[in-house]
Amino acid sequence: MAEYGFTVLYEQLEEGGYQVVVPALSGIVTYGRTLPEAREVARDAIICHVRGLLKDNGAIPGDSLTASC
């Protein structure tokens, strides 16, 4: 299986916890109570999203935040 890498943005929320966004994979916005939990949730969401794209023969988008660097 191919290996993919995506930029993941973590925003610490005033009310607690972390909002997680993966810009290259539209639709992935999730949350974790702690940073380790947010990382785990992000990883699971990315895996699920990529597996769905592969199952539907969809293209895996490039990571636009790192591609331009």
User: Do the Cβ atoms of 11 and 18 come closer than 8 Å?
Assistant: yes
The helix/strand/coil state of 31 is: strand
* Number of CB atoms found within 10 A of residue 56's CB: 7
- pLDDT average, residue stretch 13-22: 97
Q: Measuring CA to CA, which residue among 59, 33, 36, 60 is closest to residue 46?
A: 60
- pLDDT above 90 covers a percentage of the chain that reads 68
The model's confidence at residue 62, banded by pLDDT at 50, 70 and 90, is confident
The helix/strand/coil state of 10 is: strand
pLDDT of residue 3 exceeding 90, the answer is no
User: Do the Cβ atoms of 27 and 49 come closer than 8 Å?
Assistant: yes
